[in-house]
Amino acid sequence: MAQPQVKALIFDTFGTLVDYRTTIIREGAAWNQKKGWTVDWAKFADEWRGQYRPNMDKVMRGELPWMNIDQLHRMALEELLPKYGINDLSEAEKTELNTIWHRLLPWGDTVMGLTYLGMRYTIAPLSNGNVALLSNMAKHARLPWDLILSAELAKAYKPDPRVYQTAVNLLGLQPEQVMMVAAHQEDLLGAQKVGLKTAFILRPLEFGWSAIPDLTPDPSFDVVANDIVDLARQLDCC
Amino acid sequence: MAQPQVKALIFDTFGTLVDYRTTIIREGAAWNQKKGWTVDWAKFADEWRGQYRPNMDKVMRGELPWMNIDQLHRMALEELLPKYGINDLSEAEKTELNTIWHRLLPWGDTVMGLTYLGMRYTIAPLSNGNVALLSNMAKHARLPWDLILSAELAKAYKPDPRVYQTAVNLLGLQPEQVMMVAAHQEDLLGAQKVGLKTAFILRPLEFGWSAIPDLTPDPSFDVVANDIVDLARQLDCC
């Protein structure tokens, strides 16, 4: 079902387009080998990601000053490292580990799906990740964005309405001309409140095969798709 | 001469990468044919562009509220149309004419040069043009940007230092890791004040063959290049 009034699609990234958990596990295995560590990187990834929402919430409640996601990831990393017995990293090594979020690998359908969608629509991320993170990620993973949009440009975190409204304004469009694409229902419901169209992507493996989330979509979403190529098919792009 | 500490190149667009004058003359010829007008579009282009700097200056002095470039172009267009005897355009036609700035054609070296430079550097526009204008332009002209940076993100116009500083911050870099590329010396001198590296591109034809500007470069610029492919060569990208 084509969406004739939609001009731009904006995408959540972590979990929706890129597989942070698998990437951290794989890069972590290389750190273990290099350093002789025995870190459980699946657990490490889950704990690191687990601090993401609470830390953004602290920023939004004013308990922390504005910090971008690189800074929040680093703050969480500083707490996690000693907990996992890692006390021997240089500043350069900590930066290298923290910027793993700039090198996340896309799900297998992501690049093909975005390429199809980009033929008909303006496409951009709208992530809580900061601009530098998202543009480095795009260069690394070859995500064919037309522009980078980020919560950083609104100095607020999704699902705060200012994030979606800022994106719509910068695109020079009306809310109903923009569709938010995400694997997270809270994100879509936030976008909906501002008047955006919504597409829910099913990502059962975001948290690993042993923690499949409830994927029952809210009936209000405009599109529900199995992956990004399926979204492109439903929007008549391939 | 490679610039080892430089990580990102940011580019002025109007005049530096795209040829607004020729594009307006060509699209204008099609309007003349369709509407039976006899407008001198070279003169029209020069006058339209001529209001660009004064109108941005009014915004920066607070004589106008914040208006993005689409809005400033439209304001100038509304003054110009009756002056050229054009009184019969619908709202949709005015919008079509005003968004000619979203469809500007690149100089012949631009796409190839940016493609080479993008292999080694993060590349982005840093134009006074607004985000929607720049991303539409990129999609139309196939400019291979990693991200879109714009004066709009700083709510100020170049050469105001906040524009360059905002770009550096969003890139997550230090000023000396960023090179401003422009055909306009005032822009480069503004970037230099914030600590950016500078590359001056010679664009003798920006104002047409009958108005070649003085191209003598300020001796402080880090690079002077004949065009964007020449810049890529000088930075060891091809």
* DSSP secondary structure, B23-54, as one string: HHHHHHHHHHHHHT----HHHHHHHHHHTHHH
pLDDT reading at B2 higher than 80: no
pLDDT digits (tens, 9 = 90+) for A83-139: 999 999 999 999 999 999 999 999 989 999 999 999 999 999 999 999 999 999 999
Q: Mention the CATH class of domain B20-102.
A: mainly alpha
Phi and psi based region of residue A155 (left: phi greater than 0; alpha: psi -120 to 50; beta: remaining): left
User: Is the pLDDT reported for residue B132 higher than 70?
Assistant: yes
B117: Cβ contacts below 8 Å, ≥ 6 apart? B9, B123, B228, B231, B232, B235, B237
* The pLDDT value given to residue A4: 86
pLDDT confidence band for B1 (50 / 70 / 90):
low
Taking CB atoms and an 8 Å cutoff, what residues of chain A touch B72? none
**A159 near A189, Cβ under 8 Å?**
yes
Please give the radius of gyration of chain A, using alpha carbons only, rounded to the nearest integer.
18
Give yes or no for residue B222 having a pLDDT over 90. Answer: yes
Least confident of A48-57, A143-152, A206-215: A206-215
Model confidence pLDDT, tens digit, residues A150-175: 999 999 999 999 999 999 999 999 99
Question: What's residue A1's pLDDT?
Answer: 65
Q: How far is A135 from chain B (nearest CA, A)?
A: 6
> How many angstroms separate the CA atoms of A69 and A30, rounded?
24
Q: Are A11 and A35 in contact (CB under 8 A)?
A: no
Is A155 in CB contact (< 8 Å) with chain B?
Answer: no
Distance between B47 CA and the closest CA of chain A, angstroms: 25
Q: Is the dihedral of CA B31, B22, B210, B213 positive or negative?
A: positive
Q: Which residues of chain A does CATH 3.40.50.1000 include?
A: 8-19+104-234
Say if B133 is an interface residue toward chain A (CB within 8 Å).
yes
> What does the pLDDT read at residue A176?
98
User: For residue range B207-219, what is the model confidence (pLDDT) as tens digits?
Assistant: 998 889 999 999 9
pLDDT at B37: 96
CB contact under 8 A, A132 and B70: no
Is the Cβ of A132 closer than 8 Å to some Cβ of chain B? yes
Q: What angle do CA A117, A178, B137 make, to 5 degrees?
A: 65
Query: Which residue of B70, B148, B173 is in closest CB contact with A147?
Result: B148
Give Cα B31 distance to the centre of its chain.
Answer: 24
User: Would you call A134 an interface residue with chain B, using a CB distance cutoff of 8 Å?
Assistant: yes
> Does the beta-carbon distance from A122 to B133 stay under 8 Å?
no
Average pLDDT over residues A174-192: 98
**What separation in angstroms does the CA of A153 have from each of A111, A121, A126, A169, B158?**
25, 22, 10, 11, 19
The pLDDT assigned to A31 comes to 97
Q: Which residue has the tokens 């969406």?
A: A3
Q: From the list A122, A135, A173, which residue is nearest B147 (CB)?
A: A135
- Rounded average pLDDT over B177-183: 98
Chain B residues touching residue A171 (CB < 8 angstroms): 131-132, 135
pLDDT of res. A46 = 96
Q: Mind telling me how many Å the CA of B53 is from chain A's nearest CA?
A: 22
Q: In the A/B pair of chains, how many CB contacts fall below 8 A?
A: 57
CB A36, CB A42: distance < 8 Å: no
Task: State residue A3's pLDDT score.
Answer: 82
A166 close to B (CB below 8 A): no
pLDDT at A212 over 70: yes
User: What is the assigned CATH class of domain B8-19+104-234?
Assistant: alpha beta
Starting at the edge strand that comes first in sequence, how are the strands of the sheet with B197-201 ordered? B149-150, B122-127, B8-11, B178-182, B197-201, B223-225
The closest CB to that of A135, out of B134, B135, B146, belongs to B146
Whole-number average pLDDT of chain B: 96
pLDDT at A160: 98
Tokens of A5: 């009034």
**How much is the ipTM here?**
0.81
Give span(s): CATH 1.10.150.240, chain A: 20-102
CA of A69: which chain B residue's CA is closest? Answer: B172
The verdict on a CB contact (< 8 Å) between B171 and A147 is: no
**Cβ atoms within 10 Å, residue A30:** 10
Q: How far is B218 from chain A (nearest CA, A)?
A: 31
pLDDT over 90, % of chain B: 95
Residues with Cβ < 8 Å from A86, sequence gap 6 or more? A37, A39
